[in-house]
Amino acid sequence: MKDFFLHLKDRFLKPQEDVDEESGDPSDYLELNSEHGKDEKSRVLVRPFVMEEFEDIKEVLDVLREGSTIALVNIKPLKDKDLVELKRAISKLRKTCEAIDGDIAGFGEDYVVAVPYFARIHRNSVKVPQEE
């Protein structure tokens, strides 16, 4: 077994003339292209959005429908501007998340996080004390 590994080591090491003259050590590594084999579609993108008006929801909905983006939406500017439009936008976002089997949740007071079908949002279960 030891001979087998030595044989493999000899095959993959560079020839002796590639030895660095100053240190005397051969290069012990082989650089591989790390991008090879990775599909860009298989990556998940976490993308921030700022909702300043109702029309800004369209871009969020489009990336959620694509299915590879987690949206972090800052709703504070719209909340300060028009609460009715904010409720309309959140309702539209919630319906889209339901349609694509995604999930949506508030994240603090000024953020909403929306995820596609492959992710779920952890929610702390708040226990209500029972009266005796």
Q: Is residue 132 part of a domain?
A: no
Q: Is residue 131 part of a domain?
A: no
Sheet holding 111-115, edge to edge: 45-50, 69-74, 111-115, 103-107
Provide the pLDDT confidence category of residue 40 given band limits of 50, 70 and 90. Answer: low
Instruction: Tell me the pLDDT tens digit for each residue of 65-115.
Output: 998 899 999 999 999 999 999 999 999 999 999 999 999 999 889 999 999
What are the phi and psi torsion angles at 31 (to 5°)? -80, 130
For residue 86, give the CATH number of its domain: 3.30.110.150
Q: Which domain holds residue 61?
A: 41-115
Q: How many domains does the chain have?
A: 1
